[in-house]
Amino acid sequence: MLHSLHRNIRIRLIISFLSVCVSNMVFPFMAMYFAQAFGPALAGILLLMNVIISASASFVGGYLSDHFGRKPMMIIAQAIEIAAFAGMALANSGWWVSSVFTFLMMVVQNLSSGLMHPAEEAMLIDVSTEENRRLMYSINYWSTNFGMAAGAVIGGFFFGSYRFALFLVLTISSIIVLSLIILCMTEVYQRPESSIKGASPFSILSHYSKVVADRVFILFCIGNLLVLSLEFQTTNYIAVHLEKSFKTITLNHWLSLDSYTMISWMRIENTLLVVILALIIAKWTKRCSAPSVFLIGLPIYSLGYAIQAFSNQWALLTFAVFFASIGELMYVPVSQSLIASLTKAKTRASYMAIYGFVFQGSKLFGAIGIIIGAFLPPVIMALLFLLAGLVGLCCYLKVYRQKSQA
Protein backbone atom coordinates (compact mmCIF):
# COMPACT_ATOMS: atom_id res chain seq x y z
CA MET A 1 0.00 0.00 0.00
CA LEU A 2 2.81 2.40 0.82
CA HIS A 3 4.24 2.19 -2.70
CA SER A 4 1.04 3.80 -4.04
CA LEU A 5 1.75 7.00 -2.09
CA HIS A 6 3.84 9.84 -3.47
CA ARG A 7 7.49 9.80 -2.36
CA ASN A 8 7.00 13.06 -0.45
CA ILE A 9 4.32 11.36 1.64
CA ARG A 10 6.49 8.32 2.39
CA ILE A 11 9.38 10.58 3.44
CA ARG A 12 7.04 12.71 5.53
CA LEU A 13 5.75 9.61 7.36
CA ILE A 14 9.33 8.71 8.27
CA ILE A 15 10.04 12.30 9.35
CA SER A 16 6.82 12.44 11.38
CA PHE A 17 7.59 9.27 13.32
CA LEU A 18 11.19 10.31 13.99
CA SER A 19 10.27 13.85 15.04
CA VAL A 20 7.38 12.81 17.28
CA CYS A 21 9.43 10.08 18.95
CA VAL A 22 12.44 12.22 19.85
CA SER A 23 10.42 15.34 20.75
CA ASN A 24 8.32 13.33 23.21
CA MET A 25 11.52 12.40 25.01
CA VAL A 26 11.80 16.06 26.06
CA PHE A 27 8.83 18.37 25.56
CA PRO A 28 6.26 16.63 27.82
CA PHE A 29 8.64 17.33 30.71
CA MET A 30 9.63 20.93 29.93
CA ALA A 31 6.80 22.40 32.06
CA MET A 32 8.20 20.53 35.06
CA TYR A 33 11.74 21.64 34.15
CA PHE A 34 10.78 25.33 33.99
CA ALA A 35 8.58 25.07 37.11
CA GLN A 36 11.61 23.84 39.07
CA ALA A 37 13.85 26.57 37.58
CA PHE A 38 11.51 29.59 37.69
CA GLY A 39 8.49 28.61 39.82
CA PRO A 40 5.06 27.47 38.58
CA ALA A 41 3.56 30.93 37.89
CA LEU A 42 6.52 32.24 35.88
CA ALA A 43 6.84 28.89 34.08
CA GLY A 44 3.22 29.22 32.98
CA ILE A 45 3.83 32.74 31.65
CA LEU A 46 6.93 31.58 29.74
CA LEU A 47 5.07 28.66 28.16
CA LEU A 48 2.22 31.01 27.33
CA MET A 49 4.68 33.22 25.44
CA ASN A 50 5.90 30.21 23.49
CA VAL A 51 2.38 29.31 22.39
CA ILE A 52 1.72 32.88 21.18
CA ILE A 53 5.00 32.90 19.26
CA SER A 54 4.26 29.54 17.64
CA ALA A 55 0.72 30.58 16.66
CA SER A 56 1.93 33.87 15.16
CA ALA A 57 4.70 32.11 13.26
CA SER A 58 2.17 29.58 11.92
CA PHE A 59 0.01 32.35 10.47
CA VAL A 60 3.06 33.90 8.79
CA GLY A 61 4.41 30.49 7.74
CA GLY A 62 1.21 29.59 5.92
CA TYR A 63 1.28 32.87 4.00
CA LEU A 64 4.97 32.51 3.08
CA SER A 65 4.65 28.87 2.02
CA ASP A 66 1.88 29.86 -0.41
CA HIS A 67 4.14 32.57 -1.87
CA PHE A 68 7.57 30.93 -1.92
CA GLY A 69 6.79 27.21 -1.96
CA ARG A 70 6.58 24.40 0.59
CA LYS A 71 10.09 22.96 0.39
CA PRO A 72 12.01 26.25 0.85
CA MET A 73 9.99 27.07 3.99
CA MET A 74 10.52 23.56 5.36
CA ILE A 75 14.28 23.82 4.81
CA ILE A 76 14.49 27.23 6.50
CA ALA A 77 12.34 26.12 9.46
CA GLN A 78 14.27 22.89 9.93
CA ALA A 79 17.63 24.71 9.87
CA ILE A 80 16.35 27.06 12.59
CA GLU A 81 15.22 24.05 14.64
CA ILE A 82 18.68 22.44 14.42
CA ALA A 83 20.23 25.61 15.84
CA ALA A 84 17.62 25.70 18.64
CA PHE A 85 18.16 22.08 19.70
CA ALA A 86 21.95 22.49 19.56
CA GLY A 87 21.58 25.51 21.85
CA MET A 88 19.43 23.51 24.29
CA ALA A 89 22.04 20.75 24.34
CA LEU A 90 24.81 23.28 25.05
CA ALA A 91 22.81 24.87 27.88
CA ASN A 92 22.30 21.48 29.57
CA SER A 93 25.80 20.08 29.13
CA GLY A 94 28.65 19.38 31.49
CA TRP A 95 30.30 22.64 30.41
CA TRP A 96 27.39 25.02 30.92
CA VAL A 97 23.93 24.90 32.48
CA SER A 98 21.44 27.70 31.89
CA SER A 99 17.65 27.48 32.27
CA VAL A 100 17.30 30.97 30.80
CA PHE A 101 19.17 30.08 27.60
CA THR A 102 17.23 26.81 27.38
CA PHE A 103 14.03 28.85 27.41
CA LEU A 104 15.35 31.25 24.74
CA MET A 105 16.22 28.31 22.52
CA MET A 106 12.76 26.85 23.11
CA VAL A 107 11.33 30.14 21.85
CA VAL A 108 13.42 29.72 18.68
CA GLN A 109 12.23 26.11 18.36
CA ASN A 110 8.58 27.18 18.65
CA LEU A 111 9.21 29.80 15.98
CA SER A 112 10.59 27.14 13.63
CA SER A 113 7.71 24.78 14.44
CA GLY A 114 5.18 27.48 13.60
CA LEU A 115 6.88 28.16 10.27
CA MET A 116 7.18 24.45 9.44
CA HIS A 117 3.69 23.14 10.17
CA PRO A 118 1.63 24.93 7.48
CA ALA A 119 4.21 24.11 4.79
CA GLU A 120 4.46 20.39 5.59
CA GLU A 121 0.69 19.97 5.93
CA ALA A 122 0.13 21.81 2.64
CA MET A 123 2.72 19.61 0.92
CA LEU A 124 0.86 16.47 2.03
CA ILE A 125 -2.34 17.78 0.47
CA ASP A 126 -0.49 18.88 -2.69
CA VAL A 127 0.77 15.37 -3.44
CA SER A 128 -2.20 13.30 -2.20
CA THR A 129 -5.54 12.49 -3.78
CA GLU A 130 -9.01 11.93 -2.39
CA GLU A 131 -8.51 8.19 -2.96
CA ASN A 132 -5.29 7.81 -0.92
CA ARG A 133 -5.72 10.62 1.63
CA ARG A 134 -7.49 8.43 4.18
CA LEU A 135 -4.70 5.82 3.92
CA MET A 136 -2.09 8.54 4.31
CA TYR A 137 -3.61 10.02 7.46
CA SER A 138 -4.37 6.59 8.95
CA ILE A 139 -0.73 5.51 8.66
CA ASN A 140 0.41 8.86 10.04
CA TYR A 141 -1.99 8.50 12.99
CA TRP A 142 -0.67 5.09 13.96
CA SER A 143 3.00 6.01 13.52
CA THR A 144 2.52 9.20 15.53
CA ASN A 145 0.95 7.34 18.44
CA PHE A 146 3.69 4.72 18.50
CA GLY A 147 6.29 7.48 18.30
CA MET A 148 4.69 9.28 21.23
CA ALA A 149 4.67 6.12 23.32
CA ALA A 150 8.31 5.27 22.57
CA GLY A 151 9.48 8.84 23.22
CA ALA A 152 7.54 9.12 26.46
CA VAL A 153 9.09 5.89 27.80
CA ILE A 154 12.63 7.04 27.07
CA GLY A 155 12.04 10.58 28.34
CA GLY A 156 10.38 9.45 31.55
CA PHE A 157 13.44 7.41 32.53
CA PHE A 158 16.20 9.72 31.30
CA PHE A 159 15.00 13.35 31.31
CA GLY A 160 15.77 13.95 34.97
CA SER A 161 19.45 12.91 34.74
CA TYR A 162 20.43 12.82 31.06
CA ARG A 163 18.98 15.98 29.50
CA PHE A 164 22.16 16.74 27.54
CA ALA A 165 22.05 13.34 25.83
CA LEU A 166 18.37 13.75 24.94
CA PHE A 167 18.89 17.23 23.48
CA LEU A 168 21.85 15.86 21.53
CA VAL A 169 19.58 13.14 20.10
CA LEU A 170 17.09 15.86 19.13
CA THR A 171 19.83 17.79 17.33
CA ILE A 172 21.08 14.75 15.40
CA SER A 173 17.55 13.67 14.42
CA SER A 174 16.83 17.21 13.18
CA ILE A 175 19.91 17.08 10.97
CA ILE A 176 18.67 13.76 9.56
CA VAL A 177 15.24 15.31 8.89
CA LEU A 178 16.82 18.29 7.09
CA SER A 179 18.85 15.90 4.93
CA LEU A 180 15.71 13.94 4.00
CA ILE A 181 13.88 17.14 3.06
CA ILE A 182 16.73 18.44 0.88
CA LEU A 183 17.70 15.15 -0.80
CA CYS A 184 14.46 13.19 -1.03
CA MET A 185 11.54 15.61 -1.22
CA THR A 186 10.49 17.42 -4.39
CA GLU A 187 8.64 20.71 -4.73
CA VAL A 188 5.37 20.15 -6.58
CA TYR A 189 3.51 23.31 -5.61
CA GLN A 190 3.22 25.95 -8.31
CA ARG A 191 1.84 29.26 -7.19
CA PRO A 192 -0.30 31.11 -9.74
CA GLU A 193 1.19 34.40 -10.91
CA SER A 194 -2.06 36.17 -10.17
CA SER A 195 -1.81 35.34 -6.47
CA ILE A 196 1.68 36.84 -6.34
CA LYS A 197 0.51 40.23 -7.53
CA GLY A 198 -2.79 40.26 -5.68
CA ALA A 199 -1.68 39.05 -2.25
CA SER A 200 -1.41 41.59 0.57
CA PRO A 201 -1.88 41.51 4.35
CA PHE A 202 -5.10 43.51 3.97
CA SER A 203 -6.62 41.16 1.39
CA ILE A 204 -5.71 38.16 3.55
CA LEU A 205 -7.36 39.68 6.63
CA SER A 206 -10.43 40.59 4.58
CA HIS A 207 -10.65 37.02 3.30
CA TYR A 208 -10.39 35.50 6.79
CA SER A 209 -12.93 37.95 8.22
CA LYS A 210 -15.65 36.22 6.15
CA VAL A 211 -14.82 32.90 7.80
CA VAL A 212 -14.82 34.43 11.27
CA ALA A 213 -18.29 35.85 10.57
CA ASP A 214 -19.71 32.30 10.42
CA ARG A 215 -21.14 32.13 13.96
CA VAL A 216 -21.97 28.43 13.93
CA PHE A 217 -18.42 27.55 12.88
CA ILE A 218 -16.92 29.85 15.53
CA LEU A 219 -19.18 28.31 18.19
CA PHE A 220 -17.83 24.89 17.19
CA CYS A 221 -14.26 26.20 17.46
CA ILE A 222 -14.95 27.55 20.96
CA GLY A 223 -16.39 24.21 22.07
CA ASN A 224 -13.49 22.27 20.60
CA LEU A 225 -11.02 24.71 22.17
CA LEU A 226 -12.42 24.10 25.65
CA VAL A 227 -12.52 20.33 25.23
CA LEU A 228 -9.09 19.97 23.60
CA SER A 229 -7.45 22.27 26.17
CA LEU A 230 -8.04 19.60 28.83
CA GLU A 231 -5.71 17.24 26.97
CA PHE A 232 -2.89 19.81 27.10
CA GLN A 233 -3.19 20.04 30.89
CA THR A 234 -1.38 16.68 31.13
CA THR A 235 1.97 18.25 30.24
CA ASN A 236 1.16 21.56 31.93
CA TYR A 237 -0.89 21.92 35.12
CA ILE A 238 -1.21 18.19 35.84
CA ALA A 239 2.54 17.68 35.33
CA VAL A 240 3.38 20.54 37.71
CA HIS A 241 0.78 19.30 40.21
CA LEU A 242 2.35 15.83 40.25
CA GLU A 243 5.87 17.24 40.45
CA LYS A 244 4.89 18.90 43.75
CA SER A 245 2.58 16.26 45.27
CA PHE A 246 3.43 12.83 43.85
CA LYS A 247 5.45 10.76 46.30
CA THR A 248 8.07 8.49 44.72
CA ILE A 249 7.19 4.81 44.94
CA THR A 250 10.19 2.47 45.22
CA LEU A 251 9.45 -0.82 43.49
CA ASN A 252 12.85 -2.39 44.17
CA HIS A 253 16.47 -1.32 44.62
CA TRP A 254 16.86 -0.30 40.96
CA LEU A 255 13.35 0.71 39.84
CA SER A 256 11.12 3.47 41.22
CA LEU A 257 8.08 5.46 40.11
CA ASP A 258 8.55 9.22 40.45
CA SER A 259 6.59 12.16 39.02
CA TYR A 260 8.48 12.04 35.70
CA THR A 261 7.86 8.36 35.11
CA MET A 262 4.23 8.74 36.26
CA ILE A 263 3.59 11.38 33.59
CA SER A 264 5.38 9.14 31.11
CA TRP A 265 3.18 6.18 32.06
CA MET A 266 0.01 8.28 31.75
CA ARG A 267 0.93 9.31 28.20
CA ILE A 268 1.84 5.73 27.28
CA GLU A 269 -1.45 4.43 28.68
CA ASN A 270 -3.46 6.98 26.69
CA THR A 271 -1.53 6.19 23.49
CA LEU A 272 -1.92 2.42 23.84
CA LEU A 273 -5.63 2.70 24.62
CA VAL A 274 -6.17 4.90 21.56
CA VAL A 275 -4.33 2.45 19.31
CA ILE A 276 -5.93 -0.70 20.73
CA LEU A 277 -9.51 0.46 21.25
CA ALA A 278 -10.00 2.96 18.41
CA LEU A 279 -11.67 0.51 15.99
CA ILE A 280 -13.77 -1.13 18.71
CA ILE A 281 -15.15 2.18 20.01
CA ALA A 282 -15.69 3.48 16.46
CA LYS A 283 -17.74 0.38 15.57
CA TRP A 284 -19.85 0.74 18.71
CA THR A 285 -20.51 4.49 18.35
CA LYS A 286 -21.42 4.06 14.67
CA ARG A 287 -24.86 2.89 15.78
CA CYS A 288 -25.43 5.94 17.99
CA SER A 289 -26.52 9.45 17.00
CA ALA A 290 -24.00 12.29 17.28
CA PRO A 291 -25.76 14.00 20.24
CA SER A 292 -25.87 10.68 22.13
CA VAL A 293 -22.13 10.16 21.61
CA PHE A 294 -21.38 13.69 22.81
CA LEU A 295 -23.65 13.31 25.86
CA ILE A 296 -21.86 10.13 26.94
CA GLY A 297 -18.32 10.67 25.73
CA LEU A 298 -17.60 14.27 26.76
CA PRO A 299 -18.67 13.95 30.44
CA ILE A 300 -16.51 10.79 30.73
CA TYR A 301 -13.59 12.60 29.06
CA SER A 302 -13.96 15.67 31.32
CA LEU A 303 -14.30 13.60 34.48
CA GLY A 304 -11.08 11.75 33.63
CA TYR A 305 -9.09 14.99 33.47
CA ALA A 306 -10.84 16.41 36.54
CA ILE A 307 -9.65 13.42 38.59
CA GLN A 308 -6.09 13.90 37.29
CA ALA A 309 -6.21 17.53 38.45
CA PHE A 310 -6.43 16.68 42.15
CA SER A 311 -5.24 13.08 42.56
CA ASN A 312 -1.68 12.05 43.38
CA GLN A 313 -2.34 8.31 43.74
CA TRP A 314 -0.96 6.17 40.89
CA ALA A 315 -3.93 3.77 40.80
CA LEU A 316 -6.54 6.55 40.65
CA LEU A 317 -4.49 8.41 38.04
CA THR A 318 -4.29 5.28 35.91
CA PHE A 319 -8.06 4.84 36.18
CA ALA A 320 -8.60 8.53 35.30
CA VAL A 321 -6.49 8.24 32.14
CA PHE A 322 -8.54 5.20 31.10
CA PHE A 323 -11.74 7.22 31.57
CA ALA A 324 -10.41 10.20 29.62
CA SER A 325 -9.16 7.97 26.79
CA ILE A 326 -12.53 6.22 26.36
CA GLY A 327 -14.27 9.59 26.22
CA GLU A 328 -11.72 10.84 23.69
CA LEU A 329 -12.26 7.83 21.43
CA MET A 330 -16.00 8.42 21.54
CA TYR A 331 -16.19 12.14 20.77
CA VAL A 332 -13.24 12.76 18.40
CA PRO A 333 -14.52 10.92 15.27
CA VAL A 334 -17.96 12.55 15.58
CA SER A 335 -16.34 15.94 16.12
CA GLN A 336 -14.20 15.53 12.99
CA SER A 337 -17.25 14.60 10.93
CA LEU A 338 -19.08 17.65 12.24
CA ILE A 339 -16.31 20.10 11.29
CA ALA A 340 -16.14 18.62 7.79
CA SER A 341 -19.86 19.29 7.30
CA LEU A 342 -19.58 22.89 8.55
CA THR A 343 -16.98 24.03 6.00
CA LYS A 344 -17.96 25.55 2.67
CA ALA A 345 -16.38 24.10 -0.48
CA LYS A 346 -15.03 27.34 -1.96
CA THR A 347 -13.42 28.50 1.31
CA ARG A 348 -12.62 25.14 2.91
CA ALA A 349 -8.87 25.81 3.20
CA SER A 350 -9.55 29.10 4.95
CA TYR A 351 -11.96 27.40 7.34
CA MET A 352 -9.36 24.77 8.19
CA ALA A 353 -6.66 27.44 8.64
CA ILE A 354 -8.79 29.19 11.24
CA TYR A 355 -9.66 25.84 12.80
CA GLY A 356 -5.92 25.15 13.09
CA PHE A 357 -5.67 27.96 15.63
CA VAL A 358 -7.86 25.91 17.97
CA PHE A 359 -4.85 23.64 18.51
CA GLN A 360 -2.62 26.61 19.40
CA GLY A 361 -5.36 28.09 21.56
CA SER A 362 -5.62 24.80 23.43
CA LYS A 363 -1.88 24.91 24.11
CA LEU A 364 -2.39 28.48 25.33
CA PHE A 365 -5.07 27.30 27.76
CA GLY A 366 -2.68 24.58 28.87
CA ALA A 367 -0.08 27.18 29.84
CA ILE A 368 -2.76 29.32 31.54
CA GLY A 369 -3.66 26.27 33.62
CA ILE A 370 -0.22 26.40 35.27
CA ILE A 371 -0.67 30.09 36.15
CA ILE A 372 -4.16 29.62 37.61
CA GLY A 373 -3.07 26.43 39.39
CA ALA A 374 -0.35 28.36 41.21
CA PHE A 375 -3.10 30.22 43.14
CA LEU A 376 -6.00 27.74 43.31
CA PRO A 377 -6.20 24.40 45.15
CA PRO A 378 -6.34 21.17 43.08
CA VAL A 379 -10.02 20.52 43.88
CA ILE A 380 -11.03 23.90 42.39
CA MET A 381 -8.89 23.18 39.32
CA ALA A 382 -10.72 19.86 38.95
CA LEU A 383 -14.07 21.66 39.00
CA LEU A 384 -12.81 24.12 36.37
CA PHE A 385 -11.73 21.22 34.15
CA LEU A 386 -15.15 19.62 34.52
CA LEU A 387 -16.86 22.95 33.77
CA ALA A 388 -14.76 23.47 30.62
CA GLY A 389 -15.77 20.05 29.31
CA LEU A 390 -19.47 20.61 30.03
CA VAL A 391 -19.49 24.05 28.38
CA GLY A 392 -17.76 22.48 25.37
CA LEU A 393 -20.51 19.83 25.32
CA CYS A 394 -23.18 22.54 25.24
CA CYS A 395 -21.40 24.22 22.31
CA TYR A 396 -21.26 20.95 20.36
CA LEU A 397 -24.97 20.22 20.95
CA LYS A 398 -26.02 23.73 19.94
CA VAL A 399 -23.92 23.54 16.74
CA TYR A 400 -25.43 20.16 15.86
CA ARG A 401 -28.96 21.47 16.50
CA GLN A 402 -28.44 24.59 14.36
CA LYS A 403 -26.87 22.51 11.58
CA SER A 404 -29.85 20.13 11.62
CA GLN A 405 -32.30 23.04 11.39
CA ALA A 406 -30.44 24.72 8.51
Per-residue pLDDT tens digits for 353-373: 677 778 778 877 888 888 899
Q: Which range among 136-140, 163-167, 330-334 shows the weakest confidence by mean pLDDT?
A: 136-140
Q: Residue 343: pLDDT above 70?
A: no
Bigger pLDDT: 118 vs 113: 113
Q: Residue 203: pLDDT above 80?
A: no
Q: Residue 390's pLDDT band (boundaries 50, 70, 90)?
A: very high
**What is the 3-state secondary structure of the chain?**
CHHHCCHHHHHHHHHHHHHHHHHCCCHHHHHHHHHHHHCHHHHHHHHHHHHHHHHHHHHHHHHHHHHHCHHHHHHHHHHHHHHHHHHHHHCECCCCECHHHHHHHHHHHHHHHHHHHHHHHHHHHHHCCCCCHHHHHHHHHHHHHHHHHHHHHHHHHHCCCCHHHHHHHHHHHHHHHHHHHHHHCCCCCCCCHHHHHHCCHHHHHHHHHHHHCCHHHHHHHHHHHHHHHHHCCCCCHHHHHHHHHCCCEECCCCCEECHHHHHHHHHHHHHHHHHHHHHHHHHHHCCCCHHHHHHHHHHHHHHHHHHHHHCCCHHHHHHHHHHHHHHHHHHHHHHHHHHHHHCCHHHHHHHHHHHHHHHHHHHHHHHHHHHHHCCCCHHHHHHHHHHHHHHHHHHHHHHHHHHHHC
Mean pLDDT of 150-165: 83
pTM over 0.95: no
Q: Residue 344's pLDDT band (boundaries 50, 70, 90)?
A: low
Q: Residue 254: pLDDT above 80?
A: no
Q: Residue 117's pLDDT band (boundaries 50, 70, 90)?
A: confident
